[in-house]
Structure 1
């Protein structure tokens, strides 16, 4: 079996909060693209498929190497919105030569995925998108980084409203990523893991309020280190009340990107950019995943992606990504 642009994109966990929104985002971007909603609860998957339109539903069993799918099943890609500890989804994608995208691993967890790629580098294109909201901080950061000739420091802060945690899978990811290991940061060119009080510090919301946060290590820090050669990189995540809710409105999601270094004029430069989505984290994550899928399949930005191991920023142009975010309602501001 090989990937085909008209074969359904299989979204494992597609009946969940973010997975269902990703299916809707894909449908808006590519109205004719077939989609398969995969989940443990077939009835729930069928309901989401009906809402998406032009979609089918299928039951998924992550404990089986074939995912419980019929031998005759044909898919164009495998997109995973749950933590698949077995990696059966990746094994299935490699066995069938299908583009694969994962979203739920911390930086301390990707060794099994990398090992499977090393064993079969020509098997499938593998997109590791376990960044904050699947790239919503890293790609804009790289867009803003173009203002610099040399970057010394990147500080990312993410404020997630306490009412916007998402579904059970998202909460399980949060618990695992904040308790299983320390947070990976880059300090003066050295990699460190922060734990306990050492990881805690305050961040500033877009309305100037101080919020307690802690270092967090999705894949943003390692991505930005490789892309920029900055010596200090850290992502802090706060769970609290976003500025919009303090104003009496609905919750939003906030990202602040601070970059320090030297401008192209040779002078010291420090900038802060803020991004806010008024509907919270789920639609922003969903759009990020949809943009990754369209790039893997060659539906935008070039031909279908060849087998390899990728981060979102190695496939998606930051300018295009930021444009799509703004079209989807993300407000940006240079603070």
Structure 2
């Protein structure tokens, strides 16, 4: 039986990278590239060894109605704003991965799932870089890295036991592992990096208040506020500000952490200062959404620049810092994480398949395999741990 995977938006920036990865690692999978432009899909498919294209419009009430045969999985790499694709997949019992849902849209999906009662897995991997941040945190909490994995590499990239070596079996599901006290995720966004059009979703409404979790309880904060200076690789220091991302909700709800804060900085001090001024003055909120989107699209780069985030975990008396970087940029980074979710969804490469219903990448029992997959594609990991007294400035801010 031929396994077919439909990638909606497969000729986009992230979709193209993902298709290449699947074609290389799993050439037996038939990739169906879907989108509104059949010609773009056909061009992308012609560059792969086992692929075809089909016209799909997610604005249609039933986007999957005209498929000649149902795929074994659907990957959504475009915004399914009206949930047509989600409903169509659930009703046909097709496993689905969505990498584009922001926080409020995950809540919408839960309502839909409650009405539709999915009998197949539905993975929402819409945290930063297809939830790569959440995967790193799940690995840190479970102390599961440091064994030779499916791709023949030692995670994490020459740093033996960076997340604590406990052997080949994952511990994420252990009931005796308590939530981490507090997590800070700081992102460095390169303006030179080529990003997909849907990436600007994170910034269009960056002025709006949202909830974070501290000490096990939600608290409302202002968007792009509470600045702090963060040192990234190469001793580069940038001012990061709060950003609304789904992992600030999902990491708390899945019991991985009591508190989570996500901040971001552009690799341009001028851009950081300008956007902070626009948001702080209220001008950004008064601009139309179309105008805000247009401004952000003009800042998007056209080359591949490294994408990096730093995770600082505070737990009891220890602070651990994990620096994660993809030298090939955010589109490639997102694709590597999505690739791991596809293997999980279909039980490929020895992965433990997802259970029916909604889940998040950080809930995988074998989350170390996601780390191994990302590392095999060139994502770099490093870790450092220090005593609490050296990190008195890290933690919840009011």
- Check whether TM > 0.5: yes
Determine whether 1:152 maps to 2:181.
yes
2:262 alignment partner in structure 1: 235
For 1:55 and 1:205, how far apart are their aligned partners in 2? Answer: 39
Q: Secondary structure at the match of 1:67?
A: coil
Encode CA deviations 1:104-159: one digit per residue, 9 max, x unaligned.
Answer: 12212212211111112243311111111012111112212235876321111111
Q: Is the 8 A contact 1:99 1:124 kept in 2?
A: yes
Over the aligned positions, Cα root-mean-square deviation in angstroms equals 2.4
Shift of 1:227: 4.2
TM-score normalised per structure 1: 0.87
Q: Secondary structure at the match of 1:178?
A: coil
Change (3 A) 1:250 1:21: closer
1:38 alignment partner in structure 2: 34
Q: Is the 8 A contact 1:133 1:284 kept in 2?
A: yes
Which stretch shifts more, 12-21 or 220-229? 220-229
Determine whether 1:299 maps to 2:348.
yes
1:129 alignment partner in structure 2: 125
Encode CA deviations 1:185-239: one digit per residue, 9 max, x unaligned.
Answer: 2123321232156343333212222212222232222232234453321111222
Q: What pairs up with 1:107-126 in 2 under 5 angstroms?
A: 107-126=103-122
For 1:302 and 1:275, how far apart are their aligned partners in 2? Answer: 23
Encode CA deviations 1:262-285: one digit per residue, 9 max, x unaligned.
Answer: 3xxxxx211111111111111111
Higher normalized strand content (fraction of residues): 1
Task: Work out the number of aligned pairs and report it.
Answer: 318
Structure 2 gaps of 5+ residues are 144-163, 165-176, 270-302, 385-398
Q: Is the 8 A contact 1:107 1:184 kept in 2?
A: no
Q: Is the 8 A contact 2:14 2:334 kept in 1?
A: yes
Aligned match of 1:14 in 10, 16, 27? 10
Shift of 1:303: 5.8
Q: Is the 8 A contact 1:6 1:76 kept in 2?
A: no
Q: Is the 8 A contact 1:12 1:81 kept in 2?
A: yes
Q: Is the 8 A contact 2:64 2:85 kept in 1?
A: no
Encode CA deviations 1:229-257: one digit per residue, 9 max, x unaligned.
Answer: 53321111222259xxxxxx972011111
Change (3 A) 1:230 1:76: closer
Aligned match of 1:97 in 93, 96, 101? 93
Encode CA deviations 1:4-33: one digit per residue, 9 max, x unaligned.
Answer: x73421111111000111111112221110
Q: Is the 8 A contact 2:223 2:244 kept in 1?
A: no
2:80 alignment partner in structure 1: 84
Q: Is the 8 A contact 1:62 1:89 kept in 2?
A: yes
Q: Is the 8 A contact 2:31 2:52 kept in 1?
A: yes
Q: What pairs up with 1:225-264 in 2 under 5 angstroms?
A: 225-228=252-255, 230-240=257-267, 251-262=305-316
Which stretch shifts more, 231-240 or 60-69? 60-69
For 1:300 and 1:220, how far apart are their aligned partners in 2? Answer: 26
Which stretch shifts more, 5-14 or 19-28? 5-14
Change (3 A) 1:139 1:83: same
Which stretch shifts more, 291-300 or 28-37? 291-300
Q: Secondary structure at the match of 1:58?
A: strand
Aligned match of 1:187 in 209, 214, 227? 214
Q: Is the 8 A contact 1:105 1:130 kept in 2?
A: yes
For 2:253 and 2:223, how far apart are their aligned partners in 1? Answer: 27
For 2:256 and 2:27, how far apart are their aligned partners in 1? Answer: 40
TM-score normalised per structure 2: 0.74
Q: Secondary structure at the match of 1:72?
A: coil
Q: Secondary structure at the match of 2:234?
A: coil
